[in-house]
Structure 1
Amino acid sequence: MSLKYIPSVFLAVAVAIALGACGGKQQGMQAPPPVNVSVQTVSTADAAYYDEYPAIVRGVQEVELRPQVSGYITGIHFTEGSQVKKGQKLYSIDPQQSEASYSQAVAGLAVQEANLERAKRDVERYRELDKKDAIAKQQVDNAEATYAAAVKQVEAAKASVRAVQTNVRYTTIVAPFDGTIGISAVRLGASVSPGQTLLNTISSDDPIAVDIVIDQKELYRFSDLQAKNMTVKNDSTFKVSFGESVYPHPGKISIIDRAVDPQTGTIKVRLTFSNPDRVLRSGMSGTLIVESKVSKSVVIPYKAINEQLGEFFVYVADSAKATQVKVKLGKAVGKNIIIKEGLSEGDVIITEGIQNLREGTPINIAAPNASAPAPVANKK
């Protein structure tokens, strides 16, 4: 072969190699196969969910019994843990000291009344003499002053009698309202001091209160629920649970506290519950369950949600490919989730196979479900 043909041969070989390389590269860049997915058509439905709040049971009325006089306990007139009625006699404190003080005050009043009577006779006599100009003006003035002082002294003595008489009444302690009385903190013969010694505690128990604390952002919602309580009979929005047991009687909001705590941004709400069997006791800890209903909401399976850097997305089937759509989540409802924004009724979302998807990934759709499953109410 002539040397002049060698470059042409090399050129042909080089071209062939280049074409082969390009062909191999094109084969290596073939589009990935479609991902098998399951889809579901978005529908709207009525949904119910429940919010939960730590709760403390309280008596609507609750008071500590403390003595207002000193002495010794001479009588306990109730059964501990029983129901008591307003005005019922509960404790007796030795009245001897109070009765002696009362007798002394009454005697002091009698002395002052006698002094007043004498001062009255003197001033009346001096007034008559003064009319006849038969007595010095100074004596009349002194008699008037003595009489006025005697009047005041009688008033003071009467006030002292009333005060001691009140102390005598305080030796008997009665129930201030109907309720349940606890275990006595003192026994017969115990010495008690006014305002210091705790005798017992009484709390009302039907109805009974349940207290919760809510964030100030929820204040408008609870104000609306309070208004609803006033107009809807047998409203079951509020229930209270203790472990796995849910108390059968619904409650209602009775008080929303006066002001928000500026340190915590929270406010106290008090609800009342019927307690005919005295099952609820003051001091119990439980959970307040608040039902919320949302009508005509977009509800999809939670498994269709894809989270990326704190944001939430779903994949929508769009012309045989996956398209990512950002959504705003609402409350969980069983295995489903309420979608506040991002989806509309009739959209077709991908529910299975999302772990293999990216934006624009080809998909192979399995037989779709007709609509989303009916939501089931659940706790938060």
Structure 2
Amino acid sequence: LRRAELDRALRDVERYTQLDTRGSASAQEVDTARTAQALAAARLVEAEGSLAQAQARLEASRLRLAEMTILAPFDARVVRKRTEVGQWVAIGAPVADVLALDQLEARLDVPESIAIGLVEQVSLARVRARAAGDEIEGPVVAIMPEVDALSRLVPVRVLIKNESERLRPGMAIVGLVRTGSAEQGLTVSKDAILRDDAGEFLFMEAGGVAVPVRVRTLFALRERVVIQGEIPPGAMIVVGGNERLFPGRPLMDMNASPRREE
């Protein structure tokens, strides 16, 4: 608007100047046009200054907004808020917990005898989620350097793609790791395994009494575990109530047919 006023004032000055040369305009009219031109130029300078100030304030507001806006470093969902509206937050303080579901890291406990043959970024493992029913294969991305002294298991991390987003952190999973060959193994119910300061053991029936047998868990397989131990074929293993047993306590087979006494 101010520039249009200045352009009009310039045209008026030019027109009155031409008229003055032909004697059709007075000197006062020319002076009035030139004064109007000077005022229009001053108003334009003032408007440009105001515009520059407004742009500076806008840039400052944008900068302040950017400083007050916290962006997640990746595409994710907010799963937990750490602040409330109007709360002051210090630099470096957490404001929310975010979670990405497109890729997940599965943590498996692998027997040391199998983990020793795994290679990071080369070996593959399959992860089966019990709740979702999905089975996904992914690379082994990390093999922890420490072995659990009691279980002889090695923590292994597997990166899996969760494109359907059916898997959720915290779900129970079963890990399947290729060993290169099929082997026979001894399995028992996971409820049969007990633990004490010396390690793992279970109670076996021998001669009608409970006999403790030391075992070592290799890995879990659904509701059972693969073990190593001196368990003879056909042995009866105590599953229920074993936490209250002690060596030598009499046992009775609840599935046995009743005997007739004469």
TM-score calculated relative to the size of structure 2: 0.39
Larger Rg: 1
TM-score, normalised on structure 1? 0.29
Higher RCO (C-alpha 8 Å, min separation 6): 1
**Structure with the bigger percentage of strand:** 1
